[in-house]
Amino acid sequence: MGAHRRLASKARSGQCRGPSSRSFGEEVARLNESLGFEIPDVLEVWLRMNNGSTAKDSERPIPGGGIARLPHRDSVIFPDGMRFLGCREMADQHAEYLHIARDIGDGDYWKVPWIPIMEKSDGPYGILLDRQNPPGSPSLLSYSEGDYPSSHLPSLGAFLQPLADLLESGGAPSVTEGRICWAE
């Protein structure tokens, strides 16, 4: 059994120390309700272990309206300065991108089955989970301002597998310019 499957099995059985089950269950229910469908199992397992990497982030109001997200340096743990979004951030970003698609009259800008899972804090650049192509595990698409989403990886599992392997094998991270770096 691969490292990702072993970690998923532990998360489902409650052996991983993640968000409390009651509050997490409520957050997932709110996310599912906001999206209008249930999130895929692989995403729920990942969220059950950590609920995103943004717990230490903060927000501040912008003069004239709006909110600026201020990422904590611990939340930017993925390549290209990406943060893994939690349930609330996924729901908020999904609603925002659908709103933009309606405003500009472009149904290809953002589609209902797309779930934003990782994002840079300084703009609409990230990775989404594409739930519209069953059967099997949903693929990942990358998106950026001004471009339509394009293929990134075949699945969230394919993205997380190297991380799971390093965690299971005891690979030691290093810190470069205040960011965690995993050696292969």
- The predicted structure's pLDDT at residue 17: 45
Which pTM value belongs to this model? 0.74
DSSP state of 69: E
How far apart (Å, rounded) are the C-alpha atoms in residues 45 and 14? Answer: 10
Here the tokens at position 32 are 């599912």
Indicate the burial class of 59 (C-beta count within 10 angstroms; 0-12, 13-18, 19 or more): exposed
Return the percentage of the chain with pLDDT > 70, whole number. 72
Return the percentage of the chain with pLDDT > 90, whole number. 32
Which residues of the chain have a pLDDT value below 50? 1, 3-4, 15-17
Return the CATH superfamily for domain 3-182.
SMI1/KNR4-like (3.40.1580.10)
pLDDT digits (tens, 9 = 90+) for 149-184: 999 889 888 888 877 777 777 766 677 766 666 665
